[in-house]
Every structure is written in C-alpha cells, then in structure tokens.
Structure 1
Amino acid sequence: MADALCIQRVMVAELDVVVGPHVGWKVGLTSETVQERFGADAPVAGALLAGMIWPSELPVARDFGARPMVEADLAVRVADPAIMQASDHAEVLAAIDWVLPFIELVDLMVADPATLDAWSITAINVGARGGVLGEPVPVTQEMGETLAAMTVVIESEGGEVLGEYPGSAILGHPLDAVLWLVDELAARGETLDAGELLSLGSFGPLFAVDEHDAFRVRYEGLVPDQVPEVEVRFE
C-alpha cells in the first residue's frame, strides 16, 4: 500500500497540471462485497481535482476514460476543518454544510479490470476521472437517520429503473465513509479544509457508459417533500 500511495501522489501531481488543483477526496470499496472481490479489508481513497467536477446541465463525452463507467454516488461539502476531530455522525453533520447528489464517472483504466486489487486501485487514484453534481441540499440533523434509511434509485434516460439501493449500502451509513476518510487522511498526514468535496462511494454496481445515453439518480427519503436528483447525459 505504501508503494500504491506513492504512485497515486505522483500521478495526481502530474494531473494537477492539466486538470486543476485539489478540491476534495473520493472513497472507494465501500461495501463488504466489493472489498471481497478486490481482496481488500477496508475502503481506499483518492484525490478529486477541480477539472473532475462537472455541472449536470452540460453533456459529457462518452469516451471520458479508457474504461468509462457510471456509479450512483453521494457527496458532502466540508464546512469546518474540525471535521478532522469528528468521531461520530453528529460531529460529522456539524462540520459539513451540504449534501450533494453526485454521479461519479469512473475510469477503470486497465485492460482487464478483473486483475485490479486494493493496491492497484489505490495507485490509479481509485479510478477518479470525473463526476456530475446536482443541486446542494442543506444539512439537517435528521440526516443522521435519513442518509442510511433513504432509497437511492438509478434510472436510464427512458425512466427504466436500473437499481434501487438503501443508503446503508455505503459502509452501513454514508457518514461512516467520512469517519473512515478522516482516519485515513490523518494517517497520511493530510487534513480537510472548508469547501472540500467528499465523494462517499457507490451505492450499487458500476454501469457501462455505452449501455445508455443518460443516467439519473434520485435520493428518495433523504429530505421531506423533496426528491433530490442528478442526471448525466452523454454525447
């Protein structure tokens, strides 16, 4: 893993020149099933850069990566660097100000993704290539419950439901991905600053970009009287 993190740092430094500066982090391998598949016993983390974050109103090139994939994700925005001392969900909620619908655009990069493991996934910056953000949802204390209890629905361009997943699909609770990341970054000697985006992981399997012209993700039960959503369209 030390070698993998070294490779990641070198690659991100090279990407910084053409993609833009650091704006946050992504967490990957956030379910036991996926961890078992890749021989991992914990999640992994990679960097997000400014040019990786795209608005939902703009179409995305279908060939954005070597092996482009789509996943139903969720992001939060850091409001207070004190998040680095967070030890429970309430303290995380107190240190973030937005929950953001997020479709991550992942690039598995290698010729045979079946050969990937936790170390090689870390080395390729956890496949971070881009992502589409929806409208931010202000944080409430009720999200301590609703984030885990919500249903995340991913649909095709015609409204066909491709999958429905509980919020608890990410480590039992999406905020647990934040707590894991805080510990991981502390071990790396890194910190979080106000304004950073944190991509918390996939609620379900990855979908190949060539299967559909668009994907929509909805977050049912996250907040009362509203269903936050985000869509990505390909060209």
Structure 2
Amino acid sequence: MTKTMTVTETQVAQQLFDAYRHQQPLNMADLANQVPDEDAAYRVQAALTVLKNQPLGGYKVSLTSEQTQKMFDADAPLYGAQVADHFLAAPATVRQSQLMDPLVEVELVFKAKQTLTAEDSLTDLFHKTTVAPALELPDSRFSDWFPDLPKNLVVADAAVGGLVVYGTERDTDSVFDSVADVATPKCTLVHDGETLKTGVASEVLGNPLKSLHWLVGKLASQHKQLTAGQRVSSGTFVLPPHLTVGHWQADFDHQLGSVQLEMTND
C-alpha cells in the first residue's frame, strides 16, 4: 500500500469523518467511483482513523464467510481500525442515537497479550491471546448500506465499524484444548427472549484464529503491527439482523458465557 494520498482520497476521508461526527449519512453513489481500489480504500481508512484523533483499540475483520464474501463480491477478508472507546465491556447499554443503521453479529474477540507478528503460527496466536464472547454492532456512514455498499467503500468506512461489546476475557489456551477446538463454539442470538439466530465459530474462515492470522499478516504487509492490549473482533458466526431497541443476548458454549446488551430509545 503506497503512502501517498490523493486529493480525492483526502476529501473522501473528511466526508466520512464529518458523517461519523454528525451522524449524517452519505449517499454511496456519490463516492463509489472515488475509491477505485483496495489500496486507495485502506489509505482513506487510515486518514479517517487519524481524523478521529483517539487511541486505537484494535480492529474488526469482515467478510470472513463464503456467504458474505459473495455478497460483497470479494475473495478475501478485509479489516477496519477501531478506536478504543468503541470496545465496550458487557453488560452494556447503547442508545439508538449513538449509531446510524446498525446490525448485530456474534463473534469471538481476541486480545493480544504481546505484539503479534506475521511469523506467528496459529499455535503461537493461540498462546499469545485472550478470548472473549462478543456482540459486534456493525454500522456505516452510508444510508441503505447493507448489503449493497461496494467493497472499497466498506474498507474506507473502517469496515463499517460501530461498537463491539465483549464478555469475560480469558487466556485462549485455557478456554480451548487446541487450535482446532477454537472452531467448535456454538452461539445463540436472542432478542427480547426470542431466539433469532444460531451459529458456529467455523463459519469464520473455518476457525476464528485464521481470521486473526490473516489480519496480522495483512497489517504486516502495510508496515503495521497488532500490539499488546489491542483487541480483534474476528468475524461473525451468523448473517446479521438489524439491531433494534430491546434486550440482546448472545449465549456461547465452551463456558465462554453470555454477552448482554440493552439498546434504548435514547
């Protein structure tokens, strides 16, 4: 990824930041041709992150299933940088006005216990991280974005990053018996007592640790690192429904526990 921003890319980053700050959605058709490729999209995302002027809390990985890759005409995942205060410890309360057009996903969140490098194997990552159950709330600065937002605009918009609500964090190698075991957790997504979705971790590139491994390698290719304390929302177990007002709960097996979220009318 080259480091030189074009004038157009700088302008797109500013428009995204203004939409983020004022909660005023953009029209995807207005910007679709201004971010022509993935490298340009990541440059815009990096500039947007700088404009936010907040500590970097970590990343989210998107398009981690065959189904979502097909929806966005992609053949690989993508990532979005997330500011620190967008990672919330459960149980959490979120006001409707905090987000624009959010979805809700169930995920595993990994936290680096030390700097992770492209040389790390899946086994290394297994020992160098904590894991927690999570609800991720993807959100976009574009109106009517899901599932029609062009992939490059998804990347530019911090991988449609919203909020991540995470549960109890424990050493990954104490929760699971092996790397392969990380692919086996199941989860149920419940809204106001009604079960909406069930999913399994293997939906995430076959194993969520592979999502983390992909991210570390992608960051290295851009001369970046995942450092100690940063978190990664690794990909959804289910095709996400829209987030609506009420009580949301994700229940995981493997003694991972539950994550609870209250969405209020402000």
Task: State the TM-score, normalizing by the size of structure 2.
Answer: 0.80
1:107 to 130, 139, 146: 139
Judged with a 3 Å threshold, the aligned counterparts in structure 2 of structure 1 residues 82 and 54 are, in CA distance, closer, same or farther, namely: closer
Alignment-derived partner of residue 38 in structure 1 = 72
Question: 1:146 and 1:65 mapped to 2: Cα distance?
Answer: 34
Alignment-derived partner of residue 233 in structure 2 = 199
1:77 to 97, 107, 111: 111
Alignment-derived partner of residue 96 in structure 2 = 62
Residue 2 in structure 1 maps to residue 39 in structure 2? yes
SS in 1 for 2:93: coil
Q: CA deviation at 1:216?
A: 0.8
Alignment-derived partner of residue 251 in structure 2 = 218
Instruction: Give CA deviations for 1:43-100 in whole Å, capped at 9, x if unaligned.
Output: 000111111012323411023222122111210110122443213x21211221x101
Residue 155 in structure 1 maps to residue 190 in structure 2? yes
Question: 2:222 and 2:157 mapped to 1: Cα distance?
Answer: 17
Residue 177 in structure 1 maps to residue 211 in structure 2? yes
**Structure 2 unmatched ranges of 5 or more:** 1-37
Alignment-derived partner of residue 229 in structure 1 = 258
Judged with a 3 Å threshold, the aligned counterparts in structure 2 of structure 1 residues 83 and 214 are, in CA distance, closer, same or farther, namely: farther
SS in 1 for 2:127: helix
Question: 1:111 and 1:81 mapped to 2: Cα distance?
Answer: 37
Please tell me whether the aligned partners of residues 117 and 217 of structure 2 are also in contact (alpha carbons under 8 angstroms).
no
Judged with a 3 Å threshold, the aligned counterparts in structure 2 of structure 1 residues 58 and 95 are, in CA distance, closer, same or farther, namely: closer
Q: CA deviation at 1:227?
A: 4.6
Question: 1:103 and 1:63 mapped to 2: Cα distance?
Answer: 18
Please tell me whether the aligned partners of residues 92 and 260 of structure 2 are also in contact (alpha carbons under 8 angstroms).
no
Identity level (%)? 25
Task: State the TM-score, normalizing by the size of structure 1.
Answer: 0.89
Alignment-derived partner of residue 130 in structure 1 = 163
What code does the residue aligned with 2:171 have? P
Alignment-derived partner of residue 151 in structure 2 = 118
Greater Rg by CA:
2
SS in 2 for 1:146: helix
Instruction: Give CA deviations for 1:94-140 in whole Å, capped at 9, x if unaligned.
Output: 221x1011111111331232431221100000111211111112222
What code does the residue aligned with 2:238 have? G
Structure with a larger share of its residues in strand: 1
SS in 2 for 1:128: coil
Question: 2:62 and 2:223 mapped to 1: Cα distance?
Answer: 19
Question: 1:234 and 1:82 mapped to 2: Cα distance?
Answer: 34
Alignment-derived partner of residue 209 in structure 1 = 243
Q: Provide the aligned C-alpha RMSD in A.
A: 1.6
Alignment of 1:45-56 (within 5 A): 45-56=79-90
What code does the residue aligned with 1:197 have? R
What code does the residue aligned with 1:131 have? V
Please tell me whether the aligned partners of residues 189 and 249 of structure 2 are also in contact (alpha carbons under 8 angstroms).
yes
Question: 2:116 and 2:160 mapped to 1: Cα distance?
Answer: 28
Instruction: Give CA deviations for 1:167-206 in whole Å, capped at 9, x if unaligned.
Output: 1010011100011101100111101111111110111112
SS in 2 for 1:209: coil
Please tell me whether the aligned partners of residues 87 and 164 of structure 2 are also in contact (alpha carbons under 8 angstroms).
yes
